[in-house]
Amino acid sequence: MALTLSITYKLNPPSDISTTLAPTNAFQYPLPDASSDQKAYYDELRAAVLKAKSALGEDLTAWRDAVGKEENKEPKGSKKADEEDQDEEDEDEEEA
C-alpha cells in the first residue's frame, strides 16, 4: 500500500469577497517506501513535505492577498491610544 501525505483545507471567506479562488483544495504527495535506504527515505520524505508546504503556502498567500484588507478591519483608535502604544513600544526597546 502506497503512503501519501494529504493536506485538505476549507476556508470560509467573507461573503462580500469576490475572487476566482476555490475555498477548498486538497493536495496529495506520494511518500517513499520505508523499506528503502534510510538516507534516501528521509531525503524523499523531506522533499515531499517541502513540496506540500510550498503548495499550501502559495494557496494561502493568494487567499490572503485576495481577502487582505477586507477581513479583520479594525476601527482606527484615538490619537491618544496610538501615542500610548508607541510609548509602550519605546519602553520595550529600551529594556532590550
Each domain of the chain, given as residue ranges in start order, spans 38-66
Q: Which residues contact 3 (CB under 8 A, 6 or more apart)?
A: 30, 31
pLDDT of res. 49: 94
pTM confidence score: 0.62
pLDDT of res. 27: 93
The x, y and z cell numbers of residue 20, run together, are 476566482
pLDDT of res. 15: 80
Which mean pLDDT values do the consecutive 10-residue runs of the chain (96 residues) have?
88 83 92 83 92 94 83 56 64 63
| Alpha-carbon dihedral angle through residues 25, 26, 29, 31, given to the nearest 10 degrees | 150
